[in-house]
Amino acid sequence: MTTGLRALLRRAAFEHGRLTGLYRRLCAPDGREWAAFLKARGVLFAIGEHCSIQTNVSIPDTKYVRIGNNVRLSGCTLFGHDGSVNMINRAYGLKLDRVGKIELRDNVYVGHQAILLPGVTVGPNAIVAAGAVGCGDVPENVVYGGVPARRICSLEEHVERLRARSEGLPWIHLIERRDGEFDPAVQPELDRIRLEAWYGPDAGDP
């Protein structure tokens, strides 16, 4: 796809909310751009700065979701409603309701296939691990995982473990040199060293 067509689709989606499906499919926006689109169009109740939301994130109740700064969502689902209530209402002749906000405060990561249920608040400074099911609040400065999600460790403990592991990586010098989260100038060499470390010196050979 040409740069001009991409720019046209992006402008139509961002400024006018038109051709959104085409923009999403053909332009394949990364998480940062998709978060910027959701913010520009006012899709969520609120969204802060420096966020990344992958296009495979499912948010059925967008207006119930408030996101702070530096929030990263990877293939997760955020439910603002309990769909079983409609079945119960019809079965029992009732008129009940169960909805709730989803609030992700500053510096939060929600991993792939994690599920957050109505009424959950996460963070600030918290991680919900891949595959976790969060049915209660995730407090500040923790890593939660499992079904149902429970505390694994504090965020500081997790950071220290990451720091200790990172110090011994043969490619850490490239990470330290990298400009931002992704640097195309160093990525080929970074991939080469990683593959060699994992699979041996002939990993890159045809």
Residue by residue, pLDDT tens for the chain (206 residues) are: 688 888 888 889 998 889 888 898 889 999 999 999 999 999 999 999 999 999 999 999 999 999 999 999 999 999 999 989 888 888 988 888 889 999 999 999 999 999 999 999 999 999 999 999 999 999 999 999 999 999 999 999 999 999 999 999 999 999 998 888 888 888 999 999 999 999 888 765 54
Quick one: which of 101, 141, 29, 140 has its CA closest to 39? Answer: 29
Q: Which DSSP letter does residue 8 get?
A: H
Residue 97 pLDDT: 84
Residue 137 pLDDT: 95
Backbone angles phi, psi at 186, to 5 degrees: -110, -10
Q: For residues 85 and 98, is the Cβ–Cβ distance under 8 A? A: yes
Q: For residues 77 and 54, is the Cβ–Cβ distance under 8 A? A: no
Residue 114 pLDDT: 97
How many angstroms separate the Cα of 168 from the Cα of each of 161, 163, 172, 173, 197? Answer: 12, 9, 8, 10, 12
How many angstroms separate the Cα of 94 from the Cα of each of 37, 57, 89? Answer: 39, 33, 4
- Which domains does the chain possess? 44-154 (2.160.10.10), 168-206 (no CATH)
Q: Which residues contact residue 81 at a Cβ distance below 8 angstroms, ignoring those fewer than 6 apart?
A: 60, 61, 64, 98, 99, 118
Amino acid at 5: L
Q: For residues 152 and 138, is the Cβ–Cβ distance under 8 A? A: no
Q: Which residues contact residue 203 at a Cβ distance below 8 angstroms, ignoring those fewer than 6 apart?
A: 195, 196
Residue 56 pLDDT: 96
* Furthest C-alpha separation in the chain: 68
Amino acid at 191: D
How many degrees, rounded to 5, is the angle at CA 96 between CA 92 and CA 98?
A: 130
d(CA 132, CA 129): 6
Residue 96 pLDDT: 81
pTM of the model: 0.86
